[in-house]
Amino acid sequence: MLLKHIGWALLAMAALPGQTGSGLLDRIRHSSLAPEQQEALAAAYAHKDFPGMEKILSAADNSQRKSELEALLGALEFVGGRMEQAIQAFHQAEALTPLDDHDRFTLAMAEIKMLDGKGSRAELTHLNQSHPQNPIYLYWLARLDYDQRLYEAAVDKLKRVVALDPVSVRGYDNLGLCYDMMGLTTEAETAFAKAVELNRKLAQPSAWPPHNLGYLELRLLKVNAAEENLREALTFDPKFALAHYHLARALEHEDKSDAAIEQYKAAAALDSKLAEPLYSLGLLYRRRGLKAEAEIALAEYKKRRALAVSP
């Protein structure tokens, strides 16, 4: 569940200077590199030429600023999706000079991406202790708790997150996820509903809060409400395969078979690894007496399941 929320981390990082997009270009231009090296590095970054970037930074004749350049390389590698290299660069920088908060947070996000819960927890704990009023660090510590099934600890942290930031969509959304895993469906529904309300006010709403509320309502057999929220999720992300799948299930509960079939097909087409829509589609075809269509759907389901478990 954690990795699907990495986008929240990137949004948070966008607010930190020198970590993404034009901020990294500014960081390059204000580095201790010679002007011609700055231009060469900026060009390599624009073309995603990582070997070129590494060559420029390693060749820089500035041993006194080695830590700065290693940290800069770490930030560049992170944005390029090269997490292993980013972590290595940040650790080399840290061996010379303590990382600043921006780079330490980026290191923590890279470690999360690499499923290094111990390393990311250490970095985030350091940041949280230094900045106890900044909810983003506490939020990510709660996410680590969630992934380790420490739901009560996660709830405690997320309650503090929403107290520090009462309009935190991700805080309420993840609070709902924790309550849901604890079997506290009333509390989960309340938290998800708050996340949905706040999410609508964002400049770029996420599809996850209405999806999570809709999926819970589907399991509670509140199918009309589930349909409404799942359709809202799809207005924010029409290619969200899981929302199409859960919407199909809600529609099937409402005896809207034709519409359900179209949603099952959409879910299967949008995510070639998602097998469940094909199973549900096959069963629905069977109930409607469409044996050939059912066999095709179930055969594809078995194929995807086999690929999922193969080494």
pLDDT at 1: 42
For residues 293-297, average pLDDT? 98
Q: CA-based angle 183:275:224, to the nearest 5?
A: 50
Assess whether pLDDT exceeds 50 at residue 4.
no
Its sign, for the CA torsion 74, 80, 84, 85, is negative
C-alpha 97/C-alpha 65 separation (Å) is 10
12 domain-assigned: yes
The upper half-sphere exposure of residue 52, i.e. CA atoms within 13 Å in the direction of its Cβ, equals 13
6 domain-assigned: yes
**Residue in this structure with the two tokens 């940290």, named with its chain if needed:** 71
263 domain-assigned: no
Assess whether pLDDT exceeds 60 at residue 12.
no
Assess whether pLDDT exceeds 60 at residue 143.
yes
C-alpha 248/C-alpha 227 separation (Å) is 9
The upper half-sphere exposure of residue 168, i.e. CA atoms within 13 Å in the direction of its Cβ, equals 25
CB atoms within 10 A of CB 186: 9
311 domain-assigned: no
Residue 15's pLDDT band, with cuts at 50, 70 and 90, is very low
C-alpha 212, offset from chain centre: 14
240 domain-assigned: no
pLDDT at 134: 96
pLDDT at 308: 87
Which CATH number does the domain housing residue 110 bear? 1.25.40
pLDDT digits (tens, 9 = 90+) for 245-274: 999 999 999 999 999 999 999 999 999 999
51 domain-assigned: yes
Q: CA-based angle 267:273:274, to the nearest 5?
A: 40
Q: Residue 57 belongs to what domain range? A: 1-131
Which of 48-57, 107-116, 204-213, 288-297 comes out lowest in average pLDDT? Answer: 48-57
C-alpha 274/C-alpha 305 separation (Å) is 9
For residues 266-286, average pLDDT? 98
- 167 by DSSP, 3-state: which? coil
Q: CA-based angle 271:274:277, to the nearest 5?
A: 105
For residues 276-302, average pLDDT? 98
Quote the DSSP letter at residue 71: H
C-alpha 75/C-alpha 27 separation (Å) is 10
For residues 161-166, average pLDDT? 98
151 domain-assigned: no
Assess whether pLDDT exceeds 50 at residue 59.
yes
Helix axes 257-270, 276-287, angle to 10 degrees: 150
pLDDT at 126: 97
pLDDT at 162: 98
Count of structural domains within the chain? 1
